[in-house]
Amino acid sequence: MLDTLTAETLARMQFAFTVSFHIIFPAFSIGLASYLAVLNAQWLRTRDRTYLQLFDYWKKIFAVAFGMGVVSGIVMSYQFGTNWSVFSDRAGPVIGPLMAYEVLSAFFLEAGFLGIMLFGRDKVGEKLHMFATAMVAFGTLLSATWILSVNSWMQTPAGYSINQAGQFVPENWWEIVFNPSFPYRLLHMVLAAYLTTALVVGGAAGWHMLRGRVTAASRKMFSMALWMVVIVAPLQIVAGDIHGLNTLEHQPAKVMAMEGHYESHPDGAPLILFGIPDPENKEIDYALEIPKLSSFILKHHWDAPMAGLDTIPDDEEPPVGIVFWSFRVMVALGFAMLGLGAWSLWRRWRGGLYDSRWLQRAAVAMGPAGFVAVLAGWVTTEVGRQPFTVYGLMRTSESLAPVEAPAVATSLLVFIVVYFFIFGAGTFYILRLMTKAPGDTGPDPTTEGPLRTSGITPAAQVDPDVVPGN
Amino acid sequence: MFDLATIWAGIIAFAVLTYVILDGFDLGVGILFPFARDENERDVMMNSVAPVWDGNETWLVMGGGGLFAVFPLAYAVVMPALYMPIILMLLALVFRGVAFEYRWRTTRWRRVWDAAFIGGSTLAAFTQGIALGALVQGIEVADRAYAGGSWDWLTPFSLLTGMALVVGYALLGATWLIMKTEGNLQSAMRRRAGPLAMGTLGLIGLVSLLTPFQDPVYFDRWFRFPAAFYSALVPVMLFVAAMYLFRGLATNGDHAPFLASLALFVVSFVGIGISFYPMMVPPALTIEQAAAPDSSLAFALVGTVVLVPMILGYTAYAYWVFRGKVDPDAGYH
């Protein structure tokens, strides 16, 4: 067992671990930044204090999540060099400038206006505060754009040549930035971030309503979040499907692993719903499958021939088991989200959106589903492009830095301990902030903090809309 | 002389310097945190940097990301060479970064996050100093990769530069707090700033004396013509800045000590620049050798020329919004 823990394996484990932790925070803060901008705009437009209450409520949660995203992101920007220096040397000329643009156009924008958004409403006035809030939201979207361009270039490289030192040299920046998989991946990820946030907001609202706190604020959250799910969940399924077709065109081996197609199917491939991949014998055991449906989904023709992993050399085959499962987890959760949206629409139509305790329970249960789906989706696309870092051109094994296994093992262990400690505490604080009802300015200093003294009037505590018991 | 690679070396140097002086003072506030006398003083200290620390730390990402973008070979060589100090620095920044939010979210664990803030700030400063020292000593390169061992960075010289940065950042922090606070905290910081200034100057002197012994080439660079002209200016300007600093402390100036401390850092940084030029990674990689192809440099430069002035503009605006003394009652959370 220990013999297999080479520096490469350890470095891959470290990257997978740190990037998985990291993606959770942007997935949440991209959506939440936009939500805060909408809440603030609604407050300015309607002067309904509920929106201001909600803004202040989610603002604190955003601050904690954003802080965790920043510090785990700094780790990522240096890890390319510490653990994957050969990759950095060779791919740096292409992806480095894109990451520099991310820092220049997005990170500084977010950081520069974050302070004003969090602490500056009274200092700069409502209009500039709104502008700062919008800039933070815009910054999170720009950041996603650049980093997904980088990731997409590694999946579907374009617009480059290779020089004598083995470096990728940029030839056409338009082709590099707008590489073939980029638009699909960007759309899929931004929608995922919005869905994730909507589910968290809906879950928090549902939780408060189950506790009898059916206030104006919790109803507003519940309704806004579920509208978002209704609109975005179906869009996301369509976007995911188009993204999949793009993957089939550029990275067919990944789709074969997702589908579990070890064998080629010359006259129509089945859609394998469930089964247990057996990498030894290259087959799916106990497969539950629908004949020819995979061909229909991917080629829009029942009898279209589909190549399987038997057409891919063994040393270019991605790990099927992981990709097969993570893909199914993502898809199942996506359809569960669609179901939640449909259910809420039906309750809305029947005129009782806020009365169904089962709908509230479902919203709470689905609260974390977005995070799981995002992680599962990233596992699918990242493990599915193995064994390459730059698809088809540079192998993961060629990308490693000249570091020794004990050094990587030590830092990996320290990262694991520190991250669980730090982000465990952060998650606990976020959950505790969520358990406090919006607008409730109770005596607990840990959920309030001193800002309240300069901002909200105590009148907001008395909420006439509280329905006791229910 | 002014080819793309040289321009970029200047931009990266600018980003690193900006990082050092900006995050320098907020790390310094963390280093001085144990000297606060009560909870209220700690609140004020942290609130003095809470709205700006995140922007300050972004310059570190700019330094790393910029190096990756335009000098990928330097990035690929330096990061593995400084593996342990870099990883330790990142972890330290994690601890002190989350402390800004976490300490307001708990009462029982506040001590824990205070300790994380102190330890993280101090360790980040120390490892950054170590990284600088290790760079000055030189990094072994063979075949486009780091060729040394895991522990090459650890020498008495790098420990000394680590110490120097901790003391120097503490000076920046103390003078920042003189500018941003009033009353007892301010006078306490005034008392601390004097010894910290002496310590910083002493360590700058010691590091400067020892630098030529790391590699004799540094000696030549300082005393050959025309660099000798600039090298002669460095000690003179250090002296002027030090005088301005001590006079500011003696006359109870609010802004002068901080500005003078910034000047000390800028001048020292110029001194390091003289030692390095035209090397990117001493002793093996020049700026020219480490640079990415021109198409990368040009593409990144276009955005930099447009965006960096904008960044400086709105960063200055954010500082201006939160100007003046920190209100000990309002807080920022």
Of A94, A109, A401, the CB nearest to B80: A401
Rounded CA-CA distance B323/B319 in Å is 6
Counting the structural domains of chain A, the total is 1
CB A103 within 8 A of CB A139: no
CB contact, 8 Å: A355 with chain B?
no
Confidence of residue A116 (pLDDT cuts 50, 70, 90): confident
Of the spans A8-17, B1-10, B160-169, which averages the highest pLDDT?
B160-169
Task: For residue B175, give how far its alpha carbon lies from the nearest alpha carbon of chain A (Å).
Answer: 22
Residue B40 has pLDDT above 80, yes or no: yes
Of the listed ranges A341-355, A445-459, B46-60, B101-115, the least confidently predicted one is A445-459
Residue type, position A352, single letter: G
Tell whether omega for the bond before A183 is within 30 degrees of 0, i.e. cis: no
Indicate the SS3 state at residue B283: coil
Q: Between chains, do A80 and B146 touch, taking CB under 8 Å as contact?
A: no
Q: Between chains, do A446 and B104 touch, taking CB under 8 Å as contact?
A: yes
Residue A468 has pLDDT above 80, yes or no: no
* R_g (Cα) of chain A, nearest Å: 24
Q: Write out chain B residues lying below 8 Å of A449, CB-based.
A: 104-105, 331, 333
Which chain B residue has the Cα nearest residue A86? B76
Question: Strand locations in B120-253, DSSP E?
Answer: 141-142, 145-146
Residue A467 has pLDDT above 50, yes or no: no
> Tell me, what's the pLDDT at A64?
87
Rounded CA-CA distance A368/A364 in Å is 8
**Helix and strand element counts for chain A (H, E):** 17, 6
Q: Which residue has the higher pLDDT, A64 or A440?
A: A64
Task: For residue A159, give how far its alpha carbon lies from the nearest alpha carbon of chain B (Å).
Answer: 12
Domain presence at residue A189: yes
Task: For residue B106, give how far its alpha carbon lies from the nearest alpha carbon of chain A (Å).
Answer: 5
Q: Write out chain A residues lying below 8 Å of B308, CB-based.
A: 104
Task: For residue A121, give how far its alpha carbon lies from the nearest alpha carbon of chain B (Å).
Answer: 11
Domain presence at residue A88: no
> Tell me, what's the pLDDT at A465?
43
Confidence of residue B119 (pLDDT cuts 50, 70, 90): very high
Residue A2 has pLDDT above 60, yes or no: no
> Tell me, what's the pLDDT at A461?
35
Taking residues A116-132, report their average pLDDT: 87
Which residues partner with A390 through β-bridges?
A394
Residue B140 has pLDDT above 90, yes or no: no
Task: For residue B149, give how far its alpha carbon lies from the nearest alpha carbon of chain A (Å).
Answer: 9
Q: Which residue has the tokens 């789709």?
A: A255
Q: Between chains, do B54 and A104 touch, taking CB under 8 Å as contact?
A: no
Residue A242 has pLDDT above 70, yes or no: yes
Q: What is the DSSP letter of A289?
A: E
Rounded CA-CA distance B239/B242 in Å is 5
The full DSSP string for A130-168 is: HHHHHHHHHHHHHHHHHHHHHHHHHHS--SEEE-TTS-E
Which residues partner with A162 through β-bridges?
A168
Q: Is B83 left (phi over 0), alpha (psi -120 to 50) or beta?
A: alpha
Between vectors from CA A282 to CA A276 and to CA A286, what angle results, nearest 5°? 30
| Domain with B219 in it | 4-193+208-321
Between vectors from CA A388 to CA B71 and to CA A282, what angle results, nearest 5°? 170
Domain presence at residue B202: no
Continuous segment of H or E residues that includes residue A277: strand A271-278
Q: Is A440 left (phi over 0), alpha (psi -120 to 50) or beta?
A: beta
> Tell me, what's the pLDDT at A135?
93
Is A267 exposed, middle or buried, given 0-12, 13-18 or 19+ CB atoms closer than 10 A?
Answer: exposed
Of the listed ranges A161-175, A328-342, B186-200, the least confidently predicted one is A161-175
Query: Among candidates A113, A111, A119, A107, which has minimal Cα distance to A133?
Result: A113
Residue A469 has pLDDT above 70, yes or no: no
Residue A444 has pLDDT above 80, yes or no: no
Domain presence at residue A205: yes
Domain presence at residue B123: yes
Residue A95 has pLDDT above 80, yes or no: yes
Residues B207-236: tens digit of each pLDDT: 988 888 888 888 887 777 777 777 788 889
Q: Write out chain B residues lying below 8 Å of A111, CB-based.
A: 54-55, 57-58
The full DSSP string for B81-128 is: HTHHHHHHHHHHHHHHHHHHHHTTS-STTHHHHHHHHHHHHHHHHHHH
Q: Between chains, do A446 and B78 touch, taking CB under 8 Å as contact?
A: no
Q: What is the DSSP letter of A457?
A: -
Which tokens belong to A184? Answer: 């699909």
Domain presence at residue B326: no
Domain presence at residue A85: no
Rounded CA-CA distance A459/A463 in Å is 8
Looking up residue B164, the CATH number of its domain turns out to be 1.20.1630
Task: For residue A391, give how far its alpha carbon lies from the nearest alpha carbon of chain B (Å).
Answer: 20
Task: For residue B116, give how far its alpha carbon lies from the nearest alpha carbon of chain A (Å).
Answer: 10
> Tell me, what's the pLDDT at B176?
94
Query: Among candidates B263, B298, B268, which has minimal Cα distance to B13?
Result: B268
> Tell me, what's the pLDDT at A446?
47
Rounded CA-CA distance B95/B118 in Å is 9
> Tell me, what's the pLDDT at A400?
84
Which chain B residue has the Cα nearest residue A404? B150
Of the spans A73-77, A466-470, B60-64, which averages the highest pLDDT?
B60-64
Q: Write out chain B residues lying below 8 Å of A73, CB-based.
A: 61
Tell whether omega for the bond before B282 is within 30 degrees of 0, i.e. cis: no
Confidence of residue B1 (pLDDT cuts 50, 70, 90): low
Q: Provide the residue count of chain A.
A: 470
Confidence of residue A459 (pLDDT cuts 50, 70, 90): very low
Burial per residue of B24-51, b for 16 or more beta-carbon CB atoms within 10 angstroms, e otherwise: bbbbbbbbbbebbeeeebbbbbbbbbbb
Rounded CA-CA distance A409/A421 in Å is 18
Q: Is B144 left (phi over 0), alpha (psi -120 to 50) or beta?
A: left
Residues of chain B above pLDDT 90, percent: 41
Taking residues A418-426, report their average pLDDT: 88
Residue A219 has pLDDT above 80, yes or no: yes
Taking residues A110-129, report their average pLDDT: 86
Residue A40 has pLDDT above 70, yes or no: yes
CB B82 within 8 A of CB B134: yes
Domain presence at residue A279: yes
Confidence of residue B261 (pLDDT cuts 50, 70, 90): very high
Residue A466 has pLDDT above 70, yes or no: no
Q: Between chains, do A170 and B299 touch, taking CB under 8 Å as contact?
A: yes
Indicate the SS3 state at residue A290: strand
> Tell me, what's the pLDDT at B19?
92
Residues of chain A above pLDDT 90, percent: 34
> Tell me, what's the pLDDT at A441?
53
Q: Provide the residue count of chain B.
A: 333
Counting the structural domains of chain B, the total is 1
B83: Cβ contacts below 8 Å, ≥ 6 apart: A82, A403, A407, A411, B150
Which tokens belong to B120? Answer: 């993280």
Give chain A's mean pLDDT.
Answer: 85
CB contact, 8 Å: A97 with chain B?
yes
Rounded CA-CA distance B161/B203 in Å is 8
Q: What is the DSSP letter of B292?
A: P
Q: Which residue has the tokens 């999946």?
A: A155
Indicate the SS3 state at residue A50: helix
CB proximity under 8 Å: A 367-386 to B: none
Counting Cα atoms < 13 Å in the Cβ hemisphere of A67 gives 29
Q: Which residue has the tokens 């030549």?
A: B220
Q: Write out chain B residues lying below 8 Å of A447, CB-based.
A: 105
Between vectors from CA B189 to CA B188 and to CA B190, what angle results, nearest 5°? 90
> Tell me, what's the pLDDT at B192?
92
CB A441 within 8 A of CB A460: yes
Of B58, B72, B300, the CB nearest to A88: B72
Residues B61-114: tens digit of each pLDDT: 888 888 888 998 888 888 888 988 998 998 899 899 888 888 888 888 888 999
CB B179 within 8 A of CB B133: no
Task: Return the percent helix, strand and coil in chain B, to nearest 5.
Answer: 80, 5, 20
CB B62 within 8 A of CB B90: no
Q: Between chains, do B98 and A446 touch, taking CB under 8 Å as contact?
A: no
Confidence of residue B29 (pLDDT cuts 50, 70, 90): very high
List C-alpha distances in Å: A294 to A263, A305, A320, A332: 13, 10, 17, 16
Domain presence at residue A460: no
Residue B137 has pLDDT above 60, yes or no: yes
Which chain A residue has the Cα nearest residue B109? A425
Which tokens belong to B173? Answer: 């922090």
Question: Strand locations in chain B, DSSP E?
Answer: 141-142, 145-146, 279-281, 285-286
Residue B189 has pLDDT above 90, yes or no: yes
Domain presence at residue B257: yes
> Tell me, what's the pLDDT at A36?
95
Q: Between chains, do B331 and A451 touch, taking CB under 8 Å as contact?
A: yes
Which tokens belong to A409? Answer: 């093992």
CB contact, 8 Å: A174 with chain B?
no
Confidence of residue A371 (pLDDT cuts 50, 70, 90): very high
Residue type, position B246, single letter: F
The full DSSP string for A319-385 is: -HHHHHHHHHHHHHHHHHHHHHHHHHHHHHHTT-TTT-HHHHHHHHHHTTHHHHHHHHHHHHHHHHT
Residue B181 has pLDDT above 60, yes or no: yes
Taking residues A70-88, report their average pLDDT: 84
Is A365 exposed, middle or buried, given 0-12, 13-18 or 19+ CB atoms closer than 10 A?
Answer: middle
Q: Write out chain B residues lying below 8 Å of A99, CB-based.
A: 65, 68-69
CB A298 within 8 A of CB A367: no
B220: Cβ contacts below 8 Å, ≥ 6 apart: none
Confidence of residue A298 (pLDDT cuts 50, 70, 90): confident
Residues A400-410: tens digit of each pLDDT: 888 788 888 88
Give, rounded to a whole angstrom, the gap between the first and last alpha carbons of chain A. Answer: 57
Which chain A residue has the Cα nearest residue B53? A111
> Tell me, what's the pLDDT at A464?
39
Rounded CA-CA distance A100/B72 in Å is 12
Domain presence at residue A234: yes
Residue type, position A58, single letter: W
List C-alpha distances in Å: B308 to A336, B73, B315: 45, 24, 10
Rounded CA-CA distance A351/A354 in Å is 9
Handedness of CA A143, A146, A147, A149 (dihedral sign): positive
Q: Which residue has the tokens 């942290």?
A: B46
Residue type, position A218, single letter: S
Confidence of residue A183 (pLDDT cuts 50, 70, 90): very high
Q: Write out chain B residues lying below 8 Å of A82, CB-based.
A: 79-80, 83, 86-87
Q: What is the DSSP letter of A265?
A: B
CB A62 within 8 A of CB A18: no
The full DSSP string for B300-330 is: HHHHHHHHHHHHHHHHHHHHHHT-S---TTT
Confidence of residue A454 (pLDDT cuts 50, 70, 90): very low
Give chain B's mean pLDDT.
Answer: 88
Which tokens belong to B81? Answer: 């060479």
Residue A470 has pLDDT above 50, yes or no: no
| Domain with A227 in it | 185-399
Domain presence at residue A214: yes
Which chain A residue has the Cα nearest residue B301? A97
Task: For residue B274, give how far its alpha carbon lies from the nearest alpha carbon of chain A (Å).
Answer: 26
